[in-house]
């Protein structure tokens, strides 16, 4: 009797989700947000794949900046056995898939890989498992299987797959791929039939994908193989070699393999699916009130219809408007008509050109030890609310350009200041002079909350010289010291 197939989920955790700004930002993109419930899209993805029969420990592919965020979110839902691969440069999905496949076969096995983005919404978990299982026969036989979503409207925001002949294994041959169409062309696709939205989800045997990649895009395989062979273990992460990976062409699986291989197959994906590409998708997925409004947070509406109002920091009230998306965060507010949600990316580009922090970071920034919230600032001063997790500690560090005052609001702090180490309790404070080596720790079992007042000629986050760090950040260049 043939042993059941081992399926390794490979979750792609990159992407910036710019069309969901200002909630999604470069430093905290949409896959890490709790957009539609109490879990992030990444966590929902990891929980969903557990329901697939024969599933193994996941491989998560991310970048340096998001590594601790990915690991923490995986840990919170019990995925401690996950493997983490760090890409030093964004190179699209084909190199990421190659890295996962090479990592998988390095153990001497040849599992099936289920490649999927971290930011999709698929609520029918049972249906998802059945659809993946439907693709197993073709994938086990060496096909590169993609999943085509049955279209419900002439959408212009997705690529399309034209299905060919039905095979004996109940998969379809892929006749061709279509770019994102005009509305007229998309309407023609639906009228003609046989067209599916390209979901970006794939199922294939690791060795089969590597073989097709070697034929179709050998330069990608060559660069990724070198990056894997020269990569290094870093705590719980595996870092691909930066120099080798930098030489890798950037390309998607569709362009690099699927449009050229004879092994492409498609399985229809006939259940609710969304890539949550913009705010109108969040409205569509949300729980609507009688007036069609979706409200999140402290919201009041009056004579408003079919609106999405997302308040994260204060009361937001809307009146006398229809089909408007209002997204409020502590440092930015977006108001956009539902029909113009795709244009939010243009706003983000404008913010980035102006060199504003709102394009990259929230006011609250997450770190492996906890978080800080920049509550106020001005010339030569900055005020932060710092939260340190139980048992966590910041690096042993020093600043050239700023001094710091620390006031404990809640919990107990262990402070190293120069040659002294001492404890601070609630309402106690300490002063860290400019140029003094120091460290902050939370020795307790509850979160430590503090107020930090910085003063000096330069207050940037890159004014940090690290001497010891539990998270491996000591020898990183200034731009990566986060």
Spatial neighbors of 454 by CB under 8 A, at least 6 apart, are: 381, 382, 383, 384, 402, 403, 404
Whether residue 131 sits in one domain with residue 182 = yes
* Residues 291, 232 within the same domain: no
Residues 142 and 227 in one domain: yes
- Residue 324: asked if its preceding bond is cis (omega within 30°), the reply is no
Of 239, 269, 299, which residue sits at a domain end?
A: 269
**Same-domain status, 174 and 74:** yes
State whether residue 435 is helix, strand or coil. Answer: coil
Specify whether 340 is located in the same domain as 263.
Answer: no
State the average pLDDT over residues 413-417: 97
pLDDT of residue 5: 66
Q: Is beta strand 59-63 parallel, antiparallel or unpaired with respect to 172-178? A: unpaired
Number of H helices, E strands in the chain: 12, 28
Q: Looking at the predicted structure, is the pLDDT value of residue 422 above 90? A: yes
Average pLDDT over residues 280-302: 96
pTM above 0.85, yes or no: yes
- pLDDT in the model for residue 481: 37
Q: Same structural domain for residues 84 and 14?
A: yes
Mean pLDDT of 267-293: 94
Residue 119 and residue 260 in one domain: yes
**Are 325 and 412 part of one and the same domain?**
no
pLDDT given at position 45: 96
pLDDT exceeds 60 at position 39: yes
Express each pLDDT in 96-137 by its tens digit: 999 999 999 988 889 999 999 999 999 999 999 999 999 999
Residue 80 confidence class, pLDDT cut points 50, 70, 90: confident
Nearest in space to 233 (alpha carbons), one of 225, 244, 241:
241
pLDDT digits over 451-468, tens only?
999 999 999 888 999 998
pLDDT for 477 equals 39
Residue range 344-368: average pLDDT? 91
pLDDT band at 238 (very low <50, low <70, confident <90, very high): very high
Taking residues 332-353, report their average pLDDT.
95
Is residue 358 in some structural domain? no
Is 276 within the bounds of a domain? no
> Average pLDDT of 235-258?
93
Confidence grade of residue 53 (pLDDT, cut at 50, 70, 90): confident
Q: What is the pLDDT of residue 474?
A: 59
pLDDT classification of 51: cutoffs 50, 70, 90: confident
Domain span including residue 392: 364-480
Residue 398 CA: distances (Å) to CA of 121, 355, 408, 416: 44, 27, 20, 11
How many domains does the chain contain in total?
3
Region 338-350: what's the mean pLDDT?
Answer: 94
- List the beta bridge partners of residue 12: 61, 117
Contacts of 19 (CB under 8 A, 6+ apart): 277, 278, 279, 341, 342, 344, 345
In a domain, 277, yes or no: no
- Whole-number pLDDT of residue 472: 77
Question: Which CATH number do you get for residue 207?
Answer: 3.90.550.10
> Where a domain ends, among 243, 269, 295?
269
- Whether 2 shows a pLDDT value over 80: the answer reads no
Residue 292 sits in the same domain as residue 405? no
Same domain? For 286 and 262 the reply is no
**What is the pLDDT of the chain when averaged over all its residues?**
92
Does residue 356 belong to any structural domain of this protein? Answer: no
Q: What is the pLDDT of residue 1?
A: 37
How far, in Å, CA of 95 to CA of 243, rounded?
14
Q: Is the pLDDT of residue 482 over 90?
A: no
Same domain, 217 and 304: no
Is 274 contained in some domain? no
In a domain, 249, yes or no: yes
Specify if 355 maps to a domain. Answer: no
Residues 263 and 312 reside in one and the same domain:
no
What is the predicted pLDDT for the residue at 462?
85
Is 95 in contact with 89 (CB distance < 8 Å)?
A: no
Q: Where are the alpha helices (DSSP H) in 247-401?
A: 253, 279-285, 344-353
Q: Please, are residues 123 and 274 in contact by the beta-carbon 8 Å criterion?
A: no
Confidence at 36, pLDDT banded by 50, 70, 90:
confident
What's the rounded mean pLDDT across residues 179-196?
93
pLDDT (0 to 100) of residue 470 = 85
Is pLDDT of 480 > 70? no
CA distance 283 to 281: 5
In tens, the pLDDT along 303-340 reads 999 999 999 999 999 999 999 999 999 999 999 999 99
Q: Return d(Cα 278, Cα 298) in angstroms, integer.
A: 22
Please report, for the domain that includes residue 399, its CATH number: 2.60.120.10
Find tokens 């050229």 and name the residue.
260
Which of 291, 315, 350 terminates a domain? The answer is 350
pLDDT (0 to 100) of residue 234: 86
Quote the pLDDT of residue 6. Answer: 87
Whether 359 is covered by a domain: the verdict is no
Instruction: Check residue 476 and give its pLDDT.
Output: 42
């Amino acid at each position: 009797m043939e042993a059941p197939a081992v399926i390794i989920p490979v979750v792609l955790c990159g992407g910036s989700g710019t069309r969901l700004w200002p909630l999604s930002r470069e430093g905290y993109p949409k896959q890490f947000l709790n957009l539609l419930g109490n879990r992030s899209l990444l966590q929902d993805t990891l929980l969903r794949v557990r329901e697939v029969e024969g599933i193994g420990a996941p491989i998560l592919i991310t970048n340096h900046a998001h590594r601790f965020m990915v690991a923490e979110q995986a840990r919170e839902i019990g995925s401690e056995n996950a493997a983490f691969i760090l890409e030093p440069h964004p190179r699209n999905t084909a190199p990421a898939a190659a890295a996962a496949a090479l990592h998988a076969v390095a153990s001497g096995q040849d599992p099936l890989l289920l490649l999927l983005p971290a930011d999709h919404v698929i609520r029918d978990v049972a249906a998802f498992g059945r659809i993946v299982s439907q693709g197993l026969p073709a994938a086990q036989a060496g096909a590169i299987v993609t999943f085509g979503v049955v279209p419900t409207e002439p959408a212009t925001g997705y690529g399309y797959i034209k299905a060919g002949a039905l095979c004996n294994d109940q998969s379809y041959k892929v006749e061709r791929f279509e770019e994102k169409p005009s509305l007229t062309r998309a309407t023609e696709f639906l009228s003609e039939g046989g067209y599916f939205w390209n979901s970006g989800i794939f199922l294939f045997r690791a060795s089969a994908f590597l073989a097709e990649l070697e034929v179709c895009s050998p330069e990608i395989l060559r660069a990724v193989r070198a990056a894997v062979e020269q990569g290094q273990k870093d705590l719980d992460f595996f870092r691909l070699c930066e120099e080798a990976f930098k030489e890798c062409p950037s390309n998607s699986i569709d362009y690099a393999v699927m449009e050229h291989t004879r092994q492409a197959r498609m399985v229809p994906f006939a259940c609710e699916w969304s890539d949550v590409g913009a705010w109108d998708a969040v409205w569509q997925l949300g729980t609507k009130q009688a007036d069609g409004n979706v409200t999140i947070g402290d919201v009041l509406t009056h004579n408003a219809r079919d609106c999405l109002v997302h308040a994260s920091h204060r009361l937001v009230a809307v009146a006398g408007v229809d089909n408007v998306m209002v997204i409020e965060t502590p440092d930015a507010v977006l108001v956009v008509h539902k029909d113009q949600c795709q244009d939010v990316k243009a706003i983000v580009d404008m913010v980035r050109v102006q060199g504003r922090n709102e394009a990259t970071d929230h006011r609250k920034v997450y770190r492996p030890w906890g978080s800080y919230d920049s509550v106020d600032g001005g010339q030569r001063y900055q005020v932060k609310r710092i939260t340190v997790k139980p048992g966590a500690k910041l690096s042993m560090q020093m600043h050239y350009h700023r001094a710091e005052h620390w006031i404990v609001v809640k919990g107990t702090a262990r402070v190293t200041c120069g040659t002294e180490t001492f404890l601070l309790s609630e309402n106690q404070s300490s002063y860290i002079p400019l140029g003094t080596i120091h460290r902050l720790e939370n020795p307790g079992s509850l979160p430590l909350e503090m107020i930090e007042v910085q003063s000096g000629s330069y207050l940037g986050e890159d004014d940090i010289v690290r001497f010891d760090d539990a998270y491996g950040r000591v020898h990183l260049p200034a731009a990566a010291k986060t």
